[in-house]
Amino acid sequence: MEIRELSIPGTFEITPKQFPDDRGVFFEYYRFDKLEEAVGHPLDLKQANTSVSKRGTVRGIHFADVPPSQAKYVTCTRGAVVDYVIDIRVGSPTFGKWDSVRLDDVDCRAIYIPEGFGHCFVALEDDSTVSYLCSSTYAPGREHGIHPLCKTVGLDFEIDEAELLLSPKDTEAPGLLEAQKQGLLPEYEACLAFYEQLNAGAKEAK
């Protein structure tokens, strides 16, 4: 597989090597050792989720308190989505910036989103099926959101805004700057310290 760092340091696009034959196709969409080489520590898998979405469905922008937050390894097993990683860490050189990866059932790519980042995707096709490998379990009291249409973030959904389908929870979420005022966003330095803790733990385990 090929692992490429995105424009925001610490986030990665993963493209598997596919082996097609007359029976179908085989590929590895996740390798803990390859990901650990890129990230510095393994993904400590605690929960796996699947969502199925109509075209135009937007899920996010979601994030969780650090620590432990929730790192995610996301792929699309049916249909197609555009998946976004947003740097919401206050004090980060790339605060408010985002990058995206098209995830679909053709290239079978995945995206790695570290702890402390915002995550969002939009479904480009009906029945788009997205699977997430997560480093921690869902904890409602530690989960937060940013309005996906926040002008400060300015995500490009590649679909007409009239087609977008948002949940009431996401519609009611604050914008990025309002979330910062409310003290909801993770601090960059705290995230770096947490990454270092995870990296040190990985080294000790070897």
What are the sequence ranges of the domains in the chain?
2-199
What's residue 202's pLDDT? Answer: 87
Instruction: Please state, rounded to an integer, the average pLDDT across all residues of the chain.
Output: 96
Residue 149's region, left for phi above 0, alpha for psi from -120 to 50, else beta, is alpha
Catalytic option among 41, 62, 144, 147: 62
Domain 2-199 has CATH 2.60.120.10: yes
Environment class of 183 (CB within 10 Å of its CB; exposed 0-12, middle 13-18, buried 19+) = exposed
Q: Is the pTM of this model over 0.85?
A: yes
What's residue 201's pLDDT? Answer: 87
Average pLDDT over residues 158-186: 96
**pLDDT of residue 36 exceeding 90:** yes
Q: Is 29 a catalytic residue?
A: no
Catalytic option among 29, 41, 132, 147: 132
Q: Tens digits of per-residue pLDDT, 123-148?
A: 999 999 999 999 999 999 999 999 99
Q: Tens digits of per-residue pLDDT, 103-114?
A: 999 999 999 999
Q: Is 132 a catalytic residue?
A: yes
Tokens of 84: 């976004």
Average pLDDT over residues 162-185: 97
